[in-house]
Structure 1
Amino acid sequence: MSTPRSPTVTSGYAPLGPQCGPGTAQVQSVLLLDRLRPGRLLSGTVLLGFVGSVLVATMAVGAGGILVTDPLITGGPLSWIRYGRGHDLTTVALYVGVWVIVWAWVRLGRDVLSGTATVQQVQIASAVWTAPVLLSPPLFTRDIYSYLAQGALALRGLDPYQVGPSKLPPGAIADNVHYVWQTTPAPYGPLFILIAKIMNRLTGEDLILGVIGMRLVLLSGLALLIFALPRLADQLSGNRTVTLWLVIANPMAVVHLVGGPHNDLLMIGLLAAGTLLVLVHRHVAGIALVTMAMAVKASAGIALPFLVWIWAARLPGSRGAQLLRAGAGSVAVFGTIFTGITLVSGVGLGWIPALDAPSLIVNWMSLPTATGQLTHALVAPFDHISDRPFIMVCRLLGSGVFLAIFAWQWWLARDGGPQAVRRAALALLWSALLAPATLPWYLTWALVLGAALPWPPRSLAWAVAGSTWLVLCSYPTGEDALSSWPYQFGMVAVSLIAATALLRRDPLGLWRRTHLIDPAPIGTR
């Protein structure tokens, strides 16, 4: 196996010598000093991201997914930040904070590409940027209130897979669940319902403590990522520093997964750790962890059949015999772990029919939904008909397309090894894009495995563009912004600037000098 080429830094300047134009030597000296003083530059980058995170956390008190009645703000001297111009001001400041986090992430990415950032420095940056949002109101979502409500239902002896939060007695929890989810059963697995149930027992109707407590529990997913991702990169010929930068320092992780918070963080942490264990021959433990990930959110189960191939490839006998033995072992582990979690949680299998709950969301991030909306838009001038039939048919077709893609990718993964993980990442990506409803953080399902593979710098730039847009494509309150085209065009422009800035120090071309990263694949350092 050939060793991937290490990244090199090139510049848009002519080489030093008689042919250089005025000022070239000075600029190259600055770049050289950049490389000679990585500690100072990295400290500035980490501090920049911290300032952005603090700004986001504080401004979320007025512009985030705030409580209907906040005991700390409502009726006090700061209540003005929740309404009118005060709310507008905090919203603008929150966006500035997010952009500062993105800018710090891009700057850190340059250091990663140039080889001046280490694994430990990326981990420190992630910790420093994440810490402030642990205490903030929910960011760009209100899902956390639904989580706590589902735990409250289970604690009161109601089945969260049969009834929605509207069945709760009047109080802070029921009042703060978004109206869309008031009558919706929980689409999450029994392990997460158990976590939400315990959290509700500890915090009761105190939603501020509930939000912070749930964040701290879900933060265990981030700890698993910090442990697993560097080792996963070693197994998949990726780059440890790039992998961590792409996942744990990503604004998607800081703002959405932790700042939300979203239970996807715990799911992808268990998924990454389980995949790593399977790759290092600890098959039973790995399958058990991925089963636990599925018991948080069912999407993780998509990876399980691919991990069976990895186990099977290491067994003696024909391919059929290998698959039979590995499959039987995996089913036994899955059945034991999942049954145990279900019994302990005190709920049944009602989460399976409840999996279609997110389909209440209609947005064009889902490719089938977008196709249905576009088809309806083409037909609407000729016939007044609801868009619902078009969307339902396209979603059904999308499910069929996904099953075909999944089966094909699974068969291509039959030799096991790193290729099976790559195919699993692709299957997870298509599961998010072809789902009846897609939300920004769904894309982290594939990212957590794909990040450990080799990435050319230009592909990383596209990842920056996608991550930046996914952070900003909804409003800080959690309300949908996808139907606001001027807003989306603005966020796309911001995302492209961020992507360009990863490879070019002057993304807007305001100066004649530029600094480019050579688009060579980044191998393991």
Structure 2
Amino acid sequence: MTAPVPAAGELVAADTSAADLAEVDNPRTPLLAGFVGSMFMLIGSLGVGWLAPVSELRRLPLFIWMRAEAAGVALSIILLAVGGMLLVRAWLRLGQRIRVWGDQARQATLMAVVAWGLPMMFSVPLFSRDVYAYIGQGRLMVEGFNPYENGISALSNYFQLGADKMWTEAPVPYGQLFLWIEQFVVWSTNVQPEASVMLFRLVAVAGVLLCVIYVPKLAELHGVNPNRALWLTAANPLFLTNFIGSVHNDALMIGLALAGLYYSATHRVVRGIVLVTLSIAVKPITIVFLPFIGLLWAGKNAGWLRKFAFWGLTAGLSLGILALMSLVNGFGFGWINGLSAPGSIYIWYAPVGLIGLVVASLANAFGLDGLVLAGWVFDAGKLLAVGIVAWQIFRGEHDRLIRRLTLAFAAIVVLAPMIQSWYVVWLIPLFAVTGIRNDWQVKALYFVVSFFMIYAISDQLEVFPYLQTADLGLALALARVAAALTGLLFGLYLIFWDPRTRSLFRKSGDPVLERPVI
């Protein structure tokens, strides 16, 4: 394990002994600031967070004012935007105040996770309404439908559930384990939306806890400071908002995958495969972990015959578990057909999505079918991602296996035409445990977190249709612009004018080499 490293932007002077200083310089200030930011987001969510149309909360006077009056909605937007960016600043400042990444840093980070995550436990779902799709899919299960063959439109009054309309005909893309979780939640709450949201949040928190436990363990295996890796991951505002505020099942998916990866790397491979398979049974994207676990199982000096044998053993064990689960629920492997169901085709900030958009625009200008040409670009990006994954599987040092997995997983995300903020959160723990240096690498993370927080703040707001009129002047587009400008101005302040945080984005720190060793 490497020696503890000082935080970026506040390096301890060479002639000052760390023993003469506290490990963490007054963490209460950023902890309190982050708690205030999270509380702002909680209050703002009452006005512009996602509620099911059937929710009883819509009848409460406070909710009526915040959601049906222009002043209430405007206040909610401002609180949400300022709160989200306050959380970013608090995270950055907490990292700056840590002089030595020891036990006190770990304690401060865990306090941040609790203090900043607790208000989100009680917020109206933010930045996504996928949790209402989970409720609809659970209701499909309870009412005896096959969710791999039926969208939620098969249900009576399905529009009252609050799910995005894209789920009305789309089959479920989730694995068997998450189907059972959905079924249990809906059965136990009798489809009551707020109770269902709370139970799904508890599932997400279980995933967060798995990350808190296994991120430091994996970091230690790589000679990376475990407390710094924990701060980069679990206290990260993008991590907390996507996994707790947005109630994404990705929290459980990545938590199980990290646990499985740790056991596989410490010679308890069968347990690791079981855990990663459970992760696949939440969201199948983590199937990419299996070839690398097979290589861990084969060992450092394995020849190709041994590698293929252990790839076969790994695939056979995982497939056997999934097949057994499929026999129990009787739905088979229907999730394979649903993998392309949710989401948009492309988005402008994804590199491949942007290239496809430019190609489509140019093609349309010349009278060609731009959509077809854009599809070719998207397919080329996917093909390139497959090539990078294959390269990382077949080539590279055994001692860098988990880093190779990280790069393969990153290729799948970055080369997709559609990148959601929670896709980025999949990658943060993997990069953190295999080493994010204290130079341009950590600065890139700061920019990524800031960008996606600003985008999330403005991307999905629930503004009542009757407020979207010219008379009231509060159209949904205007609300999103107001949220984006508020977040952007705060972000620019952090980068260029804040005397405390601007150094993190502008000055070069001494790189901390954290080379993977397993």
TM-score, scaled relative to structure 1 = 0.85
Q: Deviations over 1:190-234 (max 9, x none)?
A: 111111111111112211111111010121111111110111001
Aligned to 2:309: 325
Q: Which amino acid aligns with 2:110?
A: Q
Whether the 8 Å contact between 2:403 and 2:431 is mirrored in structure 1 is: yes
Q: Is the 8 A contact 1:464 1:495 kept in 2?
A: no
Report the equivalent of 2:49: 64
Residue 454 of structure 1, aligned match among 435, 451, 454: 435
Distance 1:50 1:32, change over 3 A: farther
On the 8 A contact 1:251/1:467 being kept in 2, the answer is: yes
Matched, 1:376 2:360: yes
1:227-251 Cα offsets, whole Å, 9 max, x none, are 1011100111211111111111111
Q: Which residue of 1 aligns with 2:90?
A: 104
Q: Do the aligned partners of residues 409 and 112 (structure 1) sit closer, same or farther apart at CA in structure 2, a change above 3 Å counting?
A: farther
Q: Deviations over 1:42-99 (max 9, x none)?
A: 1222122112112211220111123334312336354021032211111111111111
Whether the 8 Å contact between 1:66 and 1:477 is mirrored in structure 2 is: no
The 8 Å contact of residues 166 and 182 in structure 1, kept in 2 or not, is answered as yes
Which residue in the other structure is 2:168 paired with? Answer: 182
Please tell me whether the aligned partners of residues 50 and 129 of structure 2 are also in contact (alpha carbons under 8 angstroms).
Answer: yes
Question: Is the CA contact 2:406–2:431 (under 8 Å) kept in the aligned structure 1?
Answer: yes
Structure 1 residue 496: deviation in Å? 6.0
Q: State the distance in 2 between where 1:324 and 1:397 align.
A: 28
**Which residue matches 2:144?**
157
**Residue in 1 aligned with 2:193?**
207
Is the 2:140–2:155 Cα contact (8 Å) retained in structure 1?
yes
Whole-angstrom distance in 1 between the partners of 2:488 and 2:384: 28
Which residue in the other structure is 2:391 paired with? 408
Describe how 1:366-515 pairs up with structure 2 within 5 A. Answer: 366-383=350-367, 387-413=370-396, 415-417=397-399, 419-458=400-439, 459-475=441-457, 478=460, 494-495=490-491, 498=494, 505=500, 507=502
Q: In the alignment, residue 112 of structure 2 is paired with which amino acid?
A: A
Query: What is the distance in 1 between the residues matched to 2:24 and 2:251?
Result: 30
- Contact 2:66/2:76 (<8 A) preserved: yes
One-letter amino acid of the counterpart of residue 471, structure 1: M
Query: Which residue does 1:273 correspond to in 2?
Result: 259
Partner in structure 2 of residue 73 of structure 1: 58
Displacement, 1:8? Answer: 7.5
- 2:41–2:84 Cα contact (<8 Å) kept: yes
Q: What is the aligned partner in structure 2 of residue 21 from structure 1?
A: none
Q: Aligned partners of 2:309 and 2:404: how far apart in 1?
A: 21
Give the distance between the partners of 1:189 and 1:45, measured in 2 at CA.
39
Aligned equivalent of 2:473: none
Q: 1:362 to 1:278 in 2, by over 3 A?
A: same
- Amino acid across the alignment from 2:248: H
Cα pair 2:129 2:164 within 8 Å, conserved: yes
What is the root-mean-square deviation in Å for CA atoms of aligned residues?
3.3
SS of 1:188's partner is: coil
Asked if structure 2 preserves the Cα contact closer than 8 Å seen for 1:505 and 1:515, the reply is no
Shift of 1:515: 11
Which letter does structure 2 place at the counterpart of 1:521?
Answer: V
Q: Under a length normalisation based on structure 2, what TM-score does the superposition of the two structures give?
A: 0.86
Q: Structure 2 vs 1, CA of residues 47 and 75 (structure 1 numbering), >3 Å: closer, same or farther?
A: closer
One-letter code of the match for 1:400?
L
Distance 1:228-1:291 versus aligned 2 partners, 3 A rule = same
Larger deviation, residues 279-288 vs 372-381: 372-381
Do the aligned partners of residues 449 and 515 (structure 1) sit closer, same or farther apart at CA in structure 2, a change above 3 Å counting?
A: closer
The answer to whether the 8 Å contact 2:2/2:225 transfers is no
- Relative to structure 1, the CA distance from residue 346 to residue 259 in structure 2 (aligned partners, 3 Å threshold; closer, same or farther) is farther
Q: Which residue of 1 aligns with 2:337?
A: 353
8 Å CA contact 2:65, 2:72 repeated in 1: yes
1:27 corresponds to: none
Aligned sequence identity (%): 27
Match of 1:123 in 2: 110
Give 1:20-99 correspondences, 5 Å limit: 36=21, 41-74=26-59, 76-83=61-68, 84-99=70-85
Q: Which amino acid aligns with 1:330?
A: T
Distance 1:263 1:13 in 2: 40
Q: Does 1:196 align with 2:179?
A: no
In the TM superposition, residue 338 of structure 1 has moved relative to its aligned partner by 1.3
- Residue 477 (structure 1) shift: 6.8
Match of 1:146 among 133, 153, 159: 133
1:493 deviates by 6.3
Q: 1:341 aligns with which of 325, 341, 347?
A: 325
**In 1, are the aligned partners of 2:101 and 2:228 still within 8 Å (CA)?**
no
8 Å Cα contact 1:271-1:293 kept in structure 2: yes
The CA deviation string for residues 98-119 of structure 1, in whole angstroms up to 9 with x for no partner, is 1111111011111346547522
**Partners of 2:137 and 2:182 within 8 A in 1:** yes
5+ long unaligned stretches in structure 2 = 462-475
Match in the other structure for 1:169: 156
Q: Which residue of 1 aligns with 2:510?
A: 519
User: Quick one: distance in 1 between partners of 2:13 and 2:194?
Assistant: 57
8 Å CA contact 1:405, 1:427 repeated in 2: yes
Q: In structure 1, the residue corresponding to 2:434 is in which secondary structure?
A: coil
Q: What letter corresponds to residue 425 of structure 1 in structure 2?
A: T
Question: What are the ranges of 5 or more consecutive residues in structure 1 without an aligned counterpart?
Answer: 17-30
